[in-house]
Each structure stands twice: as structure tokens, then as C-alpha cells.
Structure 1
Amino acid sequence: MAQESTTQAEKSPTSRTGSAAAPNVEGSAGKTTIASSVVQKVAGIAAREVSGVFALGGGVSRAFGAIRERIPGSGTVTTSGVSVEVGEKQAAVDLDLVVEYGARIVDVAKAVRRNVISTVEQITGLEVIEVNIAVNDIHVPEEDGEEEPVSRVE
């Protein structure tokens, strides 16, 4: 029975918060474990590297991320908009993207998928079985330059 659970765990990712073991080389002296947060960060960085990606996460997660970045000692938010499921040998990645206006969304999604798969597999040694992408928003550059309306009264 223990054999069946090991085989099942190897076939599919286990949990979003658990850790995963990278494939062991036969005859090695131990086991390497990779936390799901590591896979999350690697996938987030790989997605941001692609031209046409403005940000990761939906409006709410980006707002919370902006607040967290202002808190001293909190560091940067690299996992916003990224969730992963990690098993012993495989990983699945879900991404929420904001794409630059004018970029062809289908091409950006393909490039993100390719970059995330190759980077995660190269760095972690885990097989990436899928990368699901949800485009939640389009970034329009003119929106950044808008100022608050000037009050008519002083």
C-alpha cells in the first residue's frame, strides 16, 4: 500500500503549500527537497522576464503587494499572481498576468509558458506538466501619467 501512494505522488503534484523532492540520482547519499515557495519565486521571475508582461497578479493582489513593499523589512513581492502545485517529480504553475497594451496576448502567453517551463525545469529539476495563464488586465501607459483632478476650491 505504501508503494501505491509513492507512485501516485510521483504522477501528480501534491499540494500548493507542501515541498517537493527533486529527482534523486541513484546511489546518492541523500534526498534534496525543494519548497513550493522556491518554485513559486522561480516561476514568477521567469514570467516577468518576458517582453509584454507588465505585472503579475490581479488588481487586489497587486494593491496588497504595493502596500507590503512599503513596509520596511518586508522585502519585495515576487510570488504575487503565482501559485504552484509541487509533487516529488512534477510541478504545475498557475499565473495571473497583466499584459502591456499593444502586445499580442496569445504570443505573450506562449512566450511566458515556454520561459517558465524551461527555467523551472532547469533550476529545480522538476518536470513542469502545465502552466495555466489567466490574463486579468491590460496596462495602458497613459493611465500612469494621469494626475489627480485639480480642486476648484482652496
Structure 2
Amino acid sequence: MSTPTSSTSSRPTGSGEMTEAAPSALQSPKGRTTIANGVVQKIAGIAAREVSGVHDLGGGAARTIGALRERIPGASQSAGQGVSVEVGETQAAVDLDIVTEYGVSIADVARSVRQNVIRTVEGMTGLEVTEVNVSVNDIHLPTDEPAEQSEPPRVQ
């Protein structure tokens, strides 16, 4: 993942001149706003899960720990599981580990995830998302679901 920059940069215009980029919405003469990595991580994780064809986020170990955490009363699965971010003053970069559903186009799912994460993170934070890297670690099969118990357990 490339490191997001924290200053404005010069950009070439169509005539070959260099112009100064506009300052971020997070910085003004009256102060600046900083956004924690964990905030961007949660936003990106939720945005990725919203995409059809994404079964889960995280690698095998992270999903196992998440499944154990769900069994603890009062605990919930982390929205940032399977997401790592780098956040600068005006830019952010995101890495995602996802599990797709069997039968979907992985390229289409990755494209949709990338678009939704960029749109959501930029819309909610004002940060420019410089890249979203998607790693597909597994494919979820319908046979992976635990079988329903037909009889109630004998002991409670």
C-alpha cells in the first residue's frame, strides 16, 4: 500500500502549467479535522460488506476469532475485521481481505467493492481515497453452512 500524502500537490493543466491543488475540506483557516484510522477502517468494512457477492471479510484466522467473539454475550464482530488502512491529513489508502460467494464474478465483486468503499469513505470523511486493494482469500460454498438441528438439544 502506498503511503497517502498529507500536503497539497501541484498538478499539470492541459496547457502544461502547474497549478496548486485545492486544499482539503478537512482543513480551513479556522482549524483542521483529523480522522482516526479506526474510523476509516470501520467505514470501509461496512461499505465492503454492503456489496452483493461479498460473504465475509478477513482471512481464516480473523474469521475464526470473529465467530468465537459472536458467541460471547454482549460482544459483536468487529466492523473493521479484514480491513487495514493508512490515513494521512487529506488522503487514505485501504486494503481489504474478502471472501466471495461461489458463482459470482470475482472481478465484478472486486470492482463493486472498490467503487463502494471509495464513494462511502470519501463521502463520509472528505478524505481522498488513493487506492483500494482487494485480496480474495476464500470462496464461500453453500455447503459451508452449518446444518440445522432437526431436534432440540436434550440438555440446556
Is the 8 Å Cα contact of residues 10 and 90 (structure 1) preserved in structure 2? Answer: no
Partner of 1:118: 119
Partner of 1:53: 54
What letter is aligned with 2:115? R
Aligned length: 130
TM-score calculated relative to the size of structure 2: 0.76
Could you tell me how far 1:71 is from its partner in structure 2? 2.3
Partner of 1:14: none
Partner of 2:21: none
Using the alignment, how far apart are the partners of 1:9 and 1:31 within structure 2? 12
C-alpha distance 22-91 of structure 1, shift in aligned 2 (>3 A): farther
Partner of 1:31: 32
Could you tell me how far 1:76 is from its partner in structure 2? 2.9
SS in 1 for 2:35: strand
Is the 8 Å Cα contact of residues 48 and 56 (structure 1) preserved in structure 2? Answer: yes
SS in 1 for 2:73: coil
Q: How does 1:1-150 map to 2 (within 5 A)?
A: 9-10=6-7, 23-25=26-28, 27-28=29-30, 30-146=31-147
Is the 8 Å Cα contact of residues 113 and 131 (structure 1) preserved in structure 2? Answer: yes
What is the CA deviation profile of residues 45-102 of structure 1, one whole-angstrom value per residue up to 9, with x for unaligned ones? 0000100000000111000111122223433311110000000100000000000000
Is the 8 Å Cα contact of residues 91 and 128 (structure 1) preserved in structure 2? Answer: yes
Name the Cα RMSD after superposition. 2.1
State the 4+ residue runs in structure 1 displaced beyond 6 angstroms. none
TM-score calculated relative to the size of structure 1: 0.77
Percent of residue pairs identical: 62
Q: Which has the higher helix share?
A: 1
